[in-house]
Amino acid sequence: MSFRRKLLLLFALTVAVSVAAVAWLVSAMTRRAFQLTNDQRTAALVTQFQRQFAQQGDEIARRVELIAGSEPISRMAAAVERSPGDLGGYFDMTRSLAEGYRLDFLEFVDSKGTIISSAQWPAKFGYPESAFANFSAWANQPAFLKHEELQDSAALGLFAVRTARVGEHPLYVIGGRRLDKSFLSALDLPADIRALLYQNRGDHFSPEWVIDPTANSTIVRLPEKLAPLIDAVRQENREMSVVVHWTGNKADDELFHAFPLRGADKDRAVLAILLVANSRRGWVELERRIRDSAMLVGGGGILLAVILGSWAAARVTRPVEQLAMAAQDVAGGNWNARVEVSGHDEVAQLADSFNRMTAELLTQKERLVQAERVAAWRELARRLAHELKNPLFPLQLTVENLLRARQSGPQQFEEIFNESSTTLLAEISNLKTIVSRFSEFSKMPQPQMESVQINDLVRGVAQLFQAQFEAPGRPAIQCKLELANGIEPIAADPQLLHRALSNLVLNAMDAMPQGGALTLRTLRRYDKVAIEIADTGSGLTREECERIFTPYYTSKQHGTGLGLAIVQSVVSDHGGTISVSSEPGRGTTFVIELLMGKEKLQTIAAKDSPAKVSASGGLG
């Protein structure tokens, strides 16, 4: 993965993580805020309910007080005092009074606890009112919660008891109002909050006891889903909260707070459970909006990050890429590669340093080349002087002998002349040979590239020298071929390469006058082919290794110093490299590395016919 892509990925990841973190943070804070708001609203609603509960109770107590003090009740109380057994005429008196005073429940009970008249259950006259053990204890008390048995059902109500007394026997007036849908509907509820009431009757939850003023809602709410909460509150007799999932849509969920409402009797039994439902629609929809916004912002941010990151990465990586390309150029031999320097940042400093470095390298290279060239010329001059001095010295002696021979006799002169002529011709021949060698070195031809199978070429060189390896009169040399399989053809000049390999083999043979082992090895190294020529000869010193490819340098007594120079020249003309490793006494290994050169092969294939390529592939 490129540096630019890494930067892009880093930018996008940073933006995505940042947006996700912000969205989570906002969502968490929103949830927290909603919970706080819901708690506050619930607390306010409960307070309001309690206040209205108390107000309703005071109002009921006031109305019952008014009824107890009204004239008809006084007359009835007087009649009760006068003739307690003849009260049939009052049995339906409560109905009109209850309507007039807007009470749902109204009963007149005599001092013995017998119902004289009941608005909610008219037929119950003459029966004892069993809900109160001691009426006088309840009289003048604040309103209280009570279950009222009716003809075919039961109802929850707020009740108050007051006394109407004319004589010794009091008459009790019990009035109340039903805690029903109208009571709950009268609550001033905020939006998204509902108040329900469960009448705690029986041993188990029953949907029929749920008073829900919003039962006609479009959302289907099965009261049975409240059963676990109701049962838990009934068992533990304390406030509880739970989220109720009405439908598959989370927006329809409601957080229910359940508050037990207790009666005024001694055991303070739970008579009803107030259920305050907070809709989670607002929060769920806000959360969805936050999530959608986060996804939108995140997506947009990532896109923007990619765009800006691309731009920024391009700005950041362009000099680096230029540096990398320049470094590759330098590595490829282009010492003139330069990087454009823009700005004053670290990358610009790096580019400037690179430019200075390459400039310095180029300068040093030129100096080195100059030095090497001077050294080569010196070496050449030394070699020339050496090579020329050898024949010149005999020539000088021979000429001096001839001059001295003129002073001698003719016969002696004739003999000396003949000998000197022979010598002169021989030395002149030597000089010609020296001149022709140099001339030959200077006329090294340019390689003619063909598709060459290296293994075949190496195998051909080995066969060529096989007879000399086993020549009589000299110690045998064992030649080993270690050729790698699957080496593809390369573009090369088979004649020049054959000549170079032959020179290396000849050098190896010269290095093993006592015989030994010569190993010819081919290797595949990435996009290169390596040819190793290893002998077990006398080896070279480190200094010799360093100078061995210098023209006219030789470690041999009768060498010209041009063999390895020619080899290096051939390898260099093929775009390859040659190296030597040696250790005195253990032999020397020359390694030639040549590029596979697929492009060159394709060019050759395009130029030449397949037959020619095939023919030139084998040298043997």
d(CA 572, CA 570): 5
Neighbour tally for 20: CB within 10 Å: 13
- Contacting other proteins within 484-513 (CB under 8 A): none
Nearer to other proteins, 152 or 168 (CB): 152
Beta bridge partners, 229, equal none
Helix (H, G, I), strand (E, B) or coil at 525: strand
Nearer to other proteins, 125 or 259 (CB): 125
- Determine the straight-line distance between the first and last CA of the chain, rounded to whole angstroms: 47
127 touches other proteins by CB under 8 A: yes
- Contacting other proteins within 443-482 (CB under 8 A): none
Nearer to other proteins, 69 or 89 (CB): 89
Nearer to other proteins, 113 or 618 (CB): 113
CB of 168 to other proteins, least distance (A): 24
105 touches other proteins by CB under 8 A: no
89 touches other proteins by CB under 8 A: yes
Q: Which two tokens mark 140?
A: 């003048």
CB of 123 to other proteins, least distance (A): 4
CB of 96 to other proteins, least distance (A): 11
331 touches other proteins by CB under 8 A: no
Instruction: Identify each DSSP E strand in 474-604 by its residue range.
Output: 477-482, 490-492, 516-525, 528-535, 577-583, 587-595
d(CA 573, CA 329): 19
Residue 230 is classified by DSSP as H
CB of 94 to other proteins, least distance (A): 13
Residue with tokens 């400039």: 359
Nearer to other proteins, 107 or 254 (CB): 107
CB of 204 to other proteins, least distance (A): 21
d(CA 319, CA 313): 10
Nearer to other proteins, 201 or 528 (CB): 201
d(CA 340, CA 233): 80
Residue 478 is classified by DSSP as E
Residue with tokens 């608005």: 119
Q: Which two tokens mark 432?
A: 């010609």
Residue 224 is classified by DSSP as G
CB of 255 to other proteins, least distance (A): 40
Question: Exposure pattern of 85-97 as b/e (b: 16+ CB <10 Å)?
Answer: eebeebbebbeeb
Instruction: Identify each DSSP E strand in 80-169 by its residue range.
Output: 105-109, 115-118, 144-149, 154-165
CB 155 within 8 A of CB 146: no
CB of 211 to other proteins, least distance (A): 23
Beta bridge partners, 401, equal none
Nearer to other proteins, 151 or 446 (CB): 151
- Closest to 260 in 3D by CA, of 277, 279, 278, 235: 235
131 touches other proteins by CB under 8 A: no
- Contacting other proteins within 106-125 (CB under 8 A): 121-125
Nearer to other proteins, 121 or 246 (CB): 121
Q: Which two tokens mark 188?
A: 């001033």
Piece of 87-95, 338-346, 461-469, 573-581 that binds other proteins (CB under 8 A)? 87-95
Piece of 48-56, 85-93, 329-337, 400-408 that binds other proteins (CB under 8 A)? 85-93
3-state helix, strand, coil in the chain (%, to 5): 55, 20, 25
Per the document, the length of the chain is 620
CB of 284 to other proteins, least distance (A): 46
Amino acid letter, 43: A
- CA angle 332/333/338 to nearest 5° reads 95
CB 198 within 8 A of CB 156: no
88 touches other proteins by CB under 8 A: yes
- Contacting other proteins within 385-424 (CB under 8 A): none
Neighbour tally for 201: CB within 10 Å: 15
Residue 265 is classified by DSSP as S
d(CA 357, CA 363): 10
CB of 95 to other proteins, least distance (A): 10
Nearer to other proteins, 88 or 142 (CB): 88
CB of 273 to other proteins, least distance (A): 28
CB of 127 to other proteins, least distance (A): 7
Nearer to other proteins, 151 or 442 (CB): 151
Judged by CB under 8 A, the number of residues near other proteins is 12
91 touches other proteins by CB under 8 A: yes
Give every strand in the sheet of 516-525, ordered side by side.
477-482, 516-525, 528-535, 587-595, 577-583
The helix-helix angle for 346-405 and 410-442 (nearest 10°) equals 160
Nearer to other proteins, 201 or 250 (CB): 201
Nearer to other proteins, 116 or 164 (CB): 116
- Contacting other proteins within 133-172 (CB under 8 A): 151-152
CB of 98 to other proteins, least distance (A): 16
Nearer to other proteins, 152 or 346 (CB): 152
Nearer to other proteins, 130 or 411 (CB): 130
d(CA 594, CA 577): 7
Q: Which residues in this chain contact other proteins in the complex, by CB under 8 A?
A: 88-89, 91, 121-127, 151-152
